[in-house]
Chains A and B, each alone.
Chain A
Amino acid sequence: MIELRDVRKVYNEGRPDEVTAVDGVTLAIAPRTVTVLRGPSGSGKTSLLSLIGAMARPTSGRIVVDGREITSLPERFLTDVRRKTFGFVFQQGNLVRGVTTLENVMLPAYPLGEPRPALLARARALLEMLDLGHRLRSKAEWLSGGEAQRAAIARALVNEPKVIIADEPTAHLDTKLSREFMEIVARLKARQKTIVIASHDPVVAEASVVDRAVGMRDGRLDGDGA
C-alpha cells in the first residue's frame, strides 16, 4: 500500500518563479494494482511520481509505503528504500551507451554486493522473459526503441522491487509497441508488482490491465483520489 497524505511539492519556494507542482494530494494506491496518473503536460504527474518513488522530497505532507513513512527518512536510508522497493522506467530508456544490454540490466544491483553468478542468472532470466534473450551482448545503442524500453524494464526489475514507477514510458513508442508495453505491465501485475505510471497516452490509460486512472490538473487530483 502506498499512501500520500496532503502532499505538496513547491519548486523555487519564496522566489518570483515559485511553482507549486503538486498541491495537497491525498491518494491511496492498493498493492498489486496498476494505477495511471493522467493529465496534460505540467499537471504534476512526473513530480508526483518522483515523490512516490522517493526521488524527491515533498515540501509538506507524508508518504507511507508498506506502513513505513518514507518522507522523513535520512538520505542513507532513503537510498536503500529507493534501491530495494522501487524500480524505475523513464521516458527514454536511459541505458548506458557502450555497455551491453546484460550489463545495463545488472548495474542497479552492483551496490548491493550480490554474488555475480546469481545476479547474472537473474538478469538473463529477465531479459529472456522480455524477449531480449538474443540481445544480451548487444551494446545499448544498437537496440531499437522498443528493445531499449524492454531492457529498461528488465533493469527496473533486477533488484526485485515491489513497486514499478514508470514516467511516460510510451512517449517514444508507436501504438503497437505501446500495446506491447502494456502487455508487459500485465505480466508484471501477475507477478504481484504494484505499478504506477504517469502518462497522457490513451493506449496506457485505457488498457484493460489498468485498475485505476487518476486524473491530474494544476497539481491537484481530478475528483476523489483517496
Chain B
Amino acid sequence: MILHPGVLALLAGSALVSALLLVSAWNGLVILRRWDLASGSALQLSLERRTYLVSTIVGYVLAFEVVSLFLYVYTADALAPMFTGAMCAAGTLAADGWGYPVLVLRLANFVLAGLWLVVNRADTLGHDYPLVRPKYVLLLALTPLVLAEAVLQARYFLALEPEVITSCCGSLFSRGGTSGVGAGLAVLPAAPLAVALYATAGAAGGAGAAFGRWWRGARGAALAVLLGAAAALALAAGLAAVVSWVSPYVYELPTHRCPFCLLQAEYGWVGYPLYATLLGGAVCGMGAGVLVPARRVPSLAEAVPALQRRLAIAAAVLFALFAAIVTWKVLASHLAA
C-alpha cells in the first residue's frame, strides 16, 4: 500500500460512507416495512424523526461520494510517477486489476448518488414525506454498490506497490491497445461521435432551456422526460467522444486518446471542467426526468416543477459549458489547422 494523502482520504472516506450507509439502509428497510403515516404509534413517530436525521446524514455522505470520484482520479494521477511505465492515472489504474472496475463503480455511484440527492431534495419539499419509499428503495439499491466500491477500492489500494511495471495511456487508449475498454473507446469513429456529442448535448441543453420556459403541465412533463433521456445519452456520448474525438485535439497528437492526461497541468487541467460540466449536466438533467412522477403528488404539485426547472436550467447551462469547452479546445488546437 502507498501512504499517499489521497489514498488515506479515499479509504477513510469510503469506510465512513459505507458505515453510515449501512446504518441508513437498515433504517430504510424498517421504513419500507413499517411506515404508516396514518398511524400515531411510537414506532411511526420514531421513524419520522429518524428519517429526517438519516436523510440529512446520507445527504452529506453522498455529497462526499460525488466529489470523491474526482479525488479518486486525482489520486491515481498523482501516484503515476511511482509506477514504471505510467504517465498519468491510466497507468496507475492499470497497475492492479481492480483500478478500472472501481472507476466504473465510482462513475455509476456518482450518477446514482446525484439522483438520490435530487429525490431527497424533492422529498424534503413536501410536508408529508411524499417520496420516502422511492427514496429508500434507491438508497437500498445504492448501498451494495457503494459497499462494493469501498471493498474493491481498499483491495486495489492495499495491493498497489511502487515500482510495479504498468502500461502507459499511449498503449491502453490506442487503436490495438492492451486495454479492452480503453482500446475499444479509442477505435470508435471520431466523426460520428462528434456528431453524437453535439446532438445529445444540444438536445439535453435545448430541452433544459425549453423546460425553463414551459415547465408547467403536460408539456413540462414531456420536456422533463426528454431532458432526462437526452442527458443520459449525452453522458454516454460525451465520455466516448472525449476519448475518441476531443482528446487528440487537446494533446495535438492524432494518435493519443487518453481520458486522464486531460487532468494534468500541462493541458491546463481542462479535464476537470470538462468532466464536471458533463457529469453535473447529466445528473441535473436525469434528476429532472426522474422527478416527473412526483409532479402528480399533491403536496409536491408546486414544489417539484419548480425544482425541476432549477435542475433543467442548471443542466442547460452545464451542457452549454461542456459544448463550449469542447469547441474551444478543438478550434484552438493546432491539429485543427
Interface residue ranges, A against B (CB under 8 Å) = 5-8, 57-62, 71-77
Contacts and interface: CB of A to CB of B under 8 A. Distances in A.
Nearest to B41: A60
Contacts of B42: 8, 59-60
A72 B48 contact: yes
B40 A6 contact: yes
Interface in B119-148: 124, 127-129
A59 B129 contact: no
B127 A74 contact: yes
B269 interface: no
Given A58-B45, A60-B41, A72 B52 contact: no
Interface string B19-54: 000000000000000000100111001001100100
Contacts of B128: 72
A76 B124 contact: yes
Interface residues of B, number: 12
A72 B37 contact: yes
Contacts of A61: 40
21 contacts: A6-B40, A7-B40, A8-B42, A57-B49, A58-B40, A58-B45, A59-B45, A60-B41, A60-B45, A61-B40, A62-B40, A71-B40, A72-B45, A72-B48, A72-B128, A72-B129, A73-B127, A74-B52, A74-B127, A76-B124, A77-B127
B45 A74 contact: no
Nearest to B40: A62
Please classify the interface of chain A as helix (H, G, I), strand (E, B), loop, or mixed, using the class held by over half of its residues: mixed
Contacts of A72: 37, 45, 48, 128-129
Interface of B: 37, 40-42, 45, 48-49, 52, 124, 127-129
Contacts of A7: 40
Contacts of B40: 5-7, 58, 60-62, 71
A58 B48 CA distance: 12
Nearest to B127: A77
Given A57-B45, A60-B42, A61-B40, 16 more contacts: A5-B40, A7-B40, A8-B42, A57-B49, A58-B40, A59-B42, A62-B40, A72-B37, A72-B45, A72-B48, A72-B128, A72-B129, A74-B124, A75-B52, A76-B124, A77-B127
Contacts of B124: 74, 76
Contacts of B45: 57-60, 71-72
A219 B127 CA distance: 30
The 5 nearest A-B residue pairs measured at CB: A62-B40, A60-B42, A77-B127, A61-B40, A72-B48
A11 to B, nearest CB: 13
Nearest to A10: B42
A58 B128 CA distance: 17
Contacts of B52: 74-75
Contacts of B37: 72
Contacts of A60: 40-42, 45
Contacts of A58: 40, 45
A60 B40 CA distance: 5
A135 to B, nearest CB: 40
Residue in B45, B49, B128 whose Cβ sees the most chain A Cβ within 10 Å: B45
B274 to A, nearest CB: 37
Contacts of A62: 40
A74 to B, nearest CB: 6
